[in-house]
Amino acid sequence: MSITENLEKMLAAGRDDAMLRFGLGSAYFNNKEFDNAVPHLQACIAHDAGYSAAYKLLGKALYKIGKNEEAKKVFQAGLPIAANKGDKQTEREILAFLNKLDG
């Protein structure tokens, strides 16, 4: 059974939290199933608006499926969250993607 199957099983059994949704979003992203990653990463942020890594991954997934304006909005929303948390790596990656989208 794959990681996504295991995590989907947990979700179907009633567990629904930011960490599970981030795990699902990450697993789908890593499988290059960007369309499937998006709703889970959005749900992660709905559970925990301070989950800076979810903004980064959601923005990247949206970028991969050609939704550049949505990606930009997500990155712009996530940037101050990463900065306030002191999450320098996520902050740098978000800035790099914003520069790519602006250029």
Can you count the helices (H) and strands (E) in the chain? Answer: 6, 0
**Crossing angle (nearest 10°) for helices 88-102 and 68-85:** 150
Q: pLDDT, tens digit, for every residue of 16-54? A: 999 999 999 999 999 999 999 999 999 999 999 999 999
Structural domains of the chain, ranges and CATH numbers in brackets: 3-102 (1.25.40.10)
Of 89, 91, 38, 27, the closest CA to residue 61 belongs to: 38
CA distance 24 to 1: 14
Q: pLDDT, tens digit, for every residue of 73-92? A: 999 999 999 999 999 999 99
